[in-house]
């Protein structure tokens, strides 16, 4: 059962990343963030927390860039901006957990929340494009 759930999550992530190609081509800051999230979230869900620990500050900085760098006009909706602020807050919390040497379970929960919000943003961007 657990393998089926993990397989479904991986499938959904891949499907989202494929459809997100046009979004991330236009909004480079979200592409940069997605790369770091992918390279930290997937190892963490497989039990390897080290990439997350070593890159949490970078992840936080990339999340900050979502709000600091040019956001394509069509993506400057209230929902997307609110989710971007939420993602920044979650990434700051994640980095603080890493710095405080929190348990791996807490780190996994925190990166999962960041991952979820990122995909919500990408989903909304894809809806805007339709």
Q: Is 32 helix (H, G, I), strand (E, B) or coil?
A: helix
- What's 101's domain CATH number? 1.20.120
Residue 76 CA to residue 86 CA, distance in Å, equals 15
Residue 68 CA to residue 118 CA, distance in Å, equals 16
**Domain count along the chain:** 1
What pTM was computed for the model? 0.80
Residue % of the chain over a pLDDT of 70: 80
Domain hosting 30: range is 2-129
Which of 6-15, 23-32, 119-128 is least confident? 6-15
Per-residue model confidence as pLDDT tens digits over 102-130: 999 999 999 999 999 999 999 999 888 66
> φ, ψ for residue 45 (rounded to 5)?
-70, -15
* pLDDT higher at 8 or 110: 110
């Amino acid at each position: 059962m657990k393998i089926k759930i993990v397989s479904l999550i991986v499938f959904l992530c891949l499907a989202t990343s494929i459809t997100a190609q046009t979004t991330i081509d236009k909004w480079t800051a979200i592409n940069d963030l997605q790369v770091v999230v992918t390279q930290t979230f997937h190892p963490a869900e497989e039990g390897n927390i080290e990439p997350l620990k070593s890159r949490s500050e970078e992840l936080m900085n990339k999340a900050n860039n979502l709000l600091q760098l040019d956001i394509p006009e069509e993506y400057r909706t209230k929902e997307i901006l609110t989710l971007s602020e939420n993602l920044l807050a979650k990434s700051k919390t994640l980095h603080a957990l890493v710095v405080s040497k929190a348990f791996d379970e807490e780190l996994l929960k925190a990166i999962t929340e960041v991952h979820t919000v990122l995909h919500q943003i990408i989903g909304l961007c894809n809806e805007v494009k339709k």
